[in-house]
Amino acid sequence: MYKAGPVRAFLALGSNIGDKIANLDAALLAIAGLEDTRVVRVSRIYRTPPWGKTDQDWFANAVIEIETSLSPDALLDTVLAIEVQLGRVRRERWGPRVIDIDILSHGEVLSATERLKLPHPAMGERAFVLLPLAEIAPGYRVGGIGISDRLAQLDKQGIEPMGDFRPITCKSRAPGPAPQSGMN
Ligand code: A4P
Ligand code: MG
């Protein structure tokens, strides 16, 4: 069983169906309500042009930092369950989605299984992930490169902040052991 203390993890949220902002708000609320997990920081919500499969509607994207005692596998199970709870139906790769929750990193964990890749292998190519991530974690390193250097190499055209999440009440929690770093 996974026994490490709380670690910092980063999650990328995306939606391009329905009320996109409400979908991101609902995902954040569900994550904030989890046992063993505390929301530490949230980025603004960004309006982003579709990446990869471009013949679909624009996305609302954001990144959040959490502190969690869930193992990487348990965190994946949890975010996949939240996606289903919020109405996600998987149809095509990179296709439209009510909500997508990707784990960008979980402490220093490295994983290369099909089920769980950590750090997220595509994050370094995606300005729609790195712009909100840089806002809440300017010291983050992606594949050994500082996030602002990585961002300088990416096309950021059309990506605009569009507002904040609805305020949430984060659970207060007794102070625990210092979390491990979420940087990689
Ligand atoms: N999986 C493996 N590693 C991870 C991880 N680190 N976090 C597995 C989350 N899941 C991970 O995911 C398929 C499987 O990946 C999961 O069951 C899990 O076991 P999925 O979300 O069903 O697949 P997908 O999203 O259709 O494909 P893919 O390749 O994951 O797509 P992405 O990378 O999520 O990209 N453009 C903009 N502007 N904004 C977006 O948010 N998103 C996508 C989808 C395309 N274009 C976009 C955006
Ligand atoms: Mg996904």
Q: Residue 129 gets which letter from DSSP?
A: H
How far, in Å, CA of 165 to CA of 155, rounded?
Answer: 25
**CA dist list (Å): 163 to 15, 21, 111:** 15, 9, 33
Question: Residue 133 is part of a domain; what is its CATH number?
Answer: 3.30.70.560
Q: What is the pLDDT of residues 111-167, one digit of tens each?
A: 999 999 999 999 999 999 999 999 999 999 999 999 999 999 999 999 999 999 997
Give the Å distance between the CA of 174 and the centre of ligand 2. Answer: 32
Classify residue 138 by burial, with Cβ atoms within 10 Å: 0-12, 13-18, 19+. Answer: exposed
How many structural domains are present in the chain? 1
Ligand 1, atom 1: closest residue by C-alpha = 116
Check if 38 is active-site: no
Longest dimension (CA), the chain: 47
Q: Identify whether 77 is a catalytic site residue.
A: no
Length of the chain: 184
Asked if residues 140 and 7 have their Cβ atoms less than 8 Å apart, the reply is no
User: Domain range holding 55?
Assistant: 7-171
Q: Tell me, yes or no, whether 184 lies in a domain.
A: no
Q: Is residue 2 part of a domain?
A: no
Q: Check 8, 25, 38, 88 and give the catalytic one.
A: 88
Report the pLDDT averaged over residues 7-31: 96
Lowest-confidence pick of 22-26, 64-68, 93-97: 93-97
In a domain, 26, yes or no: yes
* Average pLDDT score, the chain: 89
Residues with CB under 6 A from ligand 1: 14, 48-52, 59, 61, 76, 80, 90, 93-94, 100, 102-103, 115-118, 120, 122, 128
In a domain, 177, yes or no: no
The question of whether 100 is a catalytic residue gets the answer yes
Q: Would residue 158 count as lying in a domain? A: yes
Question: Which of these is catalytic: 8, 102, 126, 150?
Answer: 102
Residue 174 has pLDDT above 70, yes or no: no
In whole angstroms, give the CA distance from residue 119 to residue 109: 7
Amino acid at 83: E
Question: Whose structure tokens read 């784990």?
Answer: 103
Q: Which pLDDT belongs to residue 91?
A: 66
**Is 141 a known active-site residue?**
no
pLDDT at 88: 76
Counting ligands in written order, the one closest to the CA of 129 is: 1
Catalytic residue chosen out of the listed positions 8, 38, 97, 150: 97
Q: Tell me the CA–centroid distance for residue 101 and ligand 2, in Å.
A: 5
Rounded to an integer, what distance in angstroms lies between the CA atom of residue 156 and that of residue 27? 25
Give the model's pLDDT for residue 3: 54
Closest ligand 1 atom number to CA of residue 100: 21
Q: Is residue 144 part of a domain?
A: yes
Q: Is residue 36 in some structural domain? A: yes
* Within a domain: 35: yes
